[in-house]
Amino acid sequence: MSERNGARYVVATDVGGTCTDAVLFAAGEPVRLGKALSTPPDFADGVLAAVAAAAEGMGIATDALLAETGLFVHGSTVVDNTLLTRTGASTGLITTEGFEDTLTITRGAYGRWAGLTEDGIKHPVATDRAPALVPGTRTRGVPERVDYKGAVLRPLDEDAVRAAICALVEDAGVDALAVSFLWSFYNDAHERRVGDLIREIAPSVYVTLSSEIAPVPGEYERASTTVINAYAGRIARDYVTTLQGLLKARGYDGPLLVMQGYGGLLPAEEAAGRAVGMLECGPAAGVIGSRHLGQLMEDDDIIACDMGGTTFKVGVIQGGAIEYAREPMVDRYHYVAPKIEVVSIGAGGGSIVALDPVTGVPGVGPASAGARPGPVCYGLGGTEPTLTDVMLLVGYMDPGTFLGGTITLDAQAARHAFEEKVARPLAMSVEEAAIGIYRIAAAQITDLIHEITVERGLDPRDFVLHAFGGSCGLLCGVFGAELGVKRIVVPHTAAVNAAFGLLAADIVHEYSVTRTLPADSPAEEINAIYAPMVERARAQLAAEGFTGDAIALDWSVDLRYGRQVHEVTTPVADGGPMDDAAVAWLAADFEALYERKFGKGSAYRAAGMEMTMFRLSARGLVERPPIERSPPGDGDPAPALIGRRDIFVEAAGALAPADIYDFERLAPGNVVTGPAVIHTPITTIVLQAGQAGRMDAYRNIVIELG
């Protein structure tokens, strides 16, 4: 699938909790960026506003831009927001009789603290399971049973199914139904029949079958995934449909591709039915963008940091490979859709700064002011001081340049709120308290990065740190130096890097078959498992316009040691098919990955190894214009110098004079030495004393730590 013939632009948009971002590509032209405040609950309006902001910077009308657009790719937090705010559909669950309490039991005792912070786990007696998205009153068990080999032990009682559907739809008033039977991933006939009956009896009800959305082992995880998809599915479908309609009305008639949490794109129609796949698609796109930028800059080991309005997120790229989460969660609910591993804390620009009511200790987040009312300095009604207000108070932000000057920040209001609610109760000056809060935020970020690197046997000093998101450039000079990374890269697309990552993604369909085989099974047996998946994948991609070299098929296998539960997804060398030598290499690669994940010496071949799941990732390689390089100039940034003001300098421990630069006036080759601030139209970059930031050929700022 490529852009329409004769079309000029490729557009990517990403909806975040605070802002919506847009990135525009065209062959032979510089990358264009746009940013606007998100517009909940009608997020599609914010998408058009971000595109309009980019179009305005180009001097072109939005309709004219969209008429010349050949490909539109999109990521959104709409599903995340639905789960976090509990605004999904009234959902019912039909399951195997006798297993009605699966969602309530979760994983036994572990379910009491799954998803809690470290502080929440400190008092396990006080913990409790998260309330199920589908309570027992909206759960019905029906007689049926399939065994672990897929054989029918008890036929489906269709009369009981009809009674359950009527009770849930007519009496309980549900408008979405999830169906999750035991062992349905081996034999889905019963689930498919229930789906037919639902569409016959209640055609307006949104239906999700576990055998379609999560055909994997794990009774609780499969049921939870199915319920999540049903709960958010209608909203996701309506959102995607609305966005398609708005784009068409404004002149765009090309394909809409939607980002998934595993780092691939899906056509809008398919994505609308797989709401669970959209979870955390923005952070996934950011990591994809970092890997793409790393390939351009010949960096294979990257710590990808994304700090936006509500959270700070970090993912690790090692040897050019991306880590995938074994047990992804949303809020406190497990799901089994593949997802790039990204860990996060509630520390973003909109995170509220407050004192603990018991101890009086100041903290940052996790509560957020969001886009509206937002930080106090936005002047949109916010009354609680946030980290953005702190950045203004320590001199990093210019009230007149925020979002390209579209919003004038109210420094006086921010100062008043911070003094009243933070500084005065701490018996400190505004500046002292603001510096303290800044350091707390930097320390929280450093601890999180240690968790995903040092605590897993990785040395941050071996990595390049990518700092993106609207707020990351404000703190990266401090926490990057604390970590001792090789250098810091603040991408040209830093504040819209998730949208940039969308442009680096391909269409990806995921397939899997669950079967347990010894690790030394014959290659022919393994290839026979893959053959139907490969045939289906090629047919699906061909229907979407991909043929020949535009198709890439990647095989991988989940392996584990005998009687163990920790499985590791291991790529098949050269993608597949396999011969007996490739099977032997697969086992060796599994052991190397196992030790990298769980520590040197943890592998134990004497326990025996077995394969448990066979995965196929089918990629349709999307054509896109290359990123243009700019010719280097000299190192003198003087033409971009626009002023001087006091900012917080870590080495001085206080506010000190610093040079202020305009990013738009910098040229490739220019070197800015700290302490300094670089203002871009959509973010701000702070260089600490002793650091030097060089603009490279892609207009990234590469910071050497000195």
Q: Give tens-digit pLDDT for 383-430.
A: 889 999 999 999 998 887 776 666 788 899 999 999 999 999 999 999
Pairwise CA distance, residues 375 & 372, whole Å: 8
Where do the CATH 3.30.1490 domains begin and end in the chain?
Answer: 507-620
Packing angle, helices 219-249 and 78-85, rounded to 10: 130
Q: Give tens-digit pLDDT for 37-50.
A: 888 788 889 899 99
What pLDDT was estimated at residue 536? 94
pTM: 0.85
What pLDDT was estimated at residue 503? 84
Cα angle value 169/90/331 (rounded, 5°)? 150
Residue type, 510: E
E-strand stretches of 201-262: 206-209, 256-259
Average the pLDDT over each of 100-114, 155-169, 287-301, 567-581 and give the range with the smallest value: 100-114
**Which whole number is the average pLDDT over 249-268?**
91
Pairwise CA distance, residues 68 & 65, whole Å: 5
Q: Is 198 helix (H, G, I), strand (E, B) or coil?
A: helix
Integer-rounded Cα Rg, in Å, for the chain is 26
Contact 616, 534 (CB under 8 A): yes
Is it the case that residue 436 has pLDDT exceeding 90?
A: yes
Alpha helices per DSSP H over 384-489: 387-393, 411-418, 430-452, 472-483
**Which whole number is the average pLDDT over 349-364?**
87
Query: Structure tokens of 544?
Result: 């979407």
Q: What is the DSSP letter of 252?
A: -
What pLDDT was estimated at residue 2? 44
Chain center to CA of 255: 22
Is it the case that residue 455 has pLDDT exceeding 90?
A: no
Alpha helices per DSSP H over 88-188: 102-105, 118-121, 158-166
Pairwise CA distance, residues 503 & 325, whole Å: 23
Contact 335, 225 (CB under 8 A): yes
What average pLDDT does the chain have? 89
Contact 317, 304 (CB under 8 A): yes
455: left (phi over 0), alpha (psi -120 to 50) or beta: alpha
Pairwise CA distance, residues 583 & 585, whole Å: 5
> Which backbone phi and psi does 687 adopt, to 5 degrees?
-105, 125
User: What does CATH list as the number for 507-620?
Assistant: 3.30.1490
User: Which of 396, 467, 408 lies closest to 437, judged by CA?
Assistant: 396
Locate tokens 């510096």: which residue?
435
Is it the case that residue 142 has pLDDT exceeding 70?
A: yes
Where do the CATH 3.30.420.40 domains begin and end in the chain?
Answer: 9-82+237-278
Residue type, 298: E
Average the pLDDT over each of 46-60, 225-239, 518-532 and give the range with the smallest value: 46-60
Contact 29, 6 (CB under 8 A): no
Q: Give tens-digit pLDDT for 632-676.
A: 878 899 999 999 999 999 999 999 999 999 999 999 999 999 899
Q: Is 702 helix (H, G, I), strand (E, B) or coil?
A: strand
400 or 697: whose pLDDT is higher? 697
Other Cβ atoms closer than 10 A to 327 = 13
User: Which of 523, 513, 510, 512 lies closest to 587, judged by CA?
Assistant: 523
Q: Which residues pair with 507 in a beta bridge?
A: 265, 620
Which DSSP string do the residues of 39-67 spell out, in sequence order? -TT-HHHHHHHHHHHHHHHHT--HHHHHH
| Position 700 confidence tier, pLDDT thresholds 50, 70, 90 | very high
What pLDDT was estimated at residue 92? 96
* Cis, peptide link before residue 328, omega less than 30° from 0: no
User: Which of 314, 325, 223 lies closest to 279, judged by CA?
Assistant: 325
Q: Give tens-digit pLDDT for 288-337.
A: 999 999 998 999 999 999 987 778 889 999 888 888 887 788 888 888 88
Other Cβ atoms closer than 10 A to 578 = 23
Query: Structure tokens of 133?
Result: 């998205």
User: Which of 330, 334, 363, 323 lies closest to 344, judged by CA?
Assistant: 330
Report the percentage of the chain scoring pLDDT > 90. Answer: 55
Locate tokens 């390049």: which residue?
464
Q: What is the DSSP letter of 122?
A: T
20 or 129: whose pLDDT is higher? 20
User: Which of 183, 155, 14, 160 lies closest to 94, judged by CA?
Assistant: 160
**Which whole number is the average pLDDT over 190-208?**
96
Locate tokens 């909109």: which residue?
350
What pLDDT was estimated at residue 5? 46
Is it the case that residue 108 has pLDDT exceeding 80?
A: no
Packing angle, helices 189-201 and 158-166, rounded to 10: 40
Contact 308, 20 (CB under 8 A): no
What pLDDT was estimated at residue 625? 64
Is it the case that residue 222 has pLDDT exceeding 70?
A: yes
Is it the case that residue 252 has pLDDT exceeding 80?
A: yes
What pLDDT was estimated at residue 119? 66
Pairwise CA distance, residues 532 & 185, whole Å: 15
Q: Is 75 helix (H, G, I), strand (E, B) or coil?
A: strand
Q: What is the DSSP letter of 108?
A: G
- Tell me the range of 26-30, 344-348, 439-443 where mean pLDDT is highest: 439-443
Is it the case that residue 3 has pLDDT exceeding 60?
A: no
C-beta pairs of 690-697 under 8 Å, 24+ apart in sequence: 690/651, 691/477, 691/481, 693/490, 694/635, 694/669, 694/670, 695/666, 695/667, 695/668, 695/669, 695/670, 695/671, 696/297, 696/668, 697/629, 697/630, 697/631, 697/632, 697/668
Hey, what CATH topology would domain 9-82+237-278 get?
Answer: Nucleotidyltransferase; domain 5 (3.30.420)
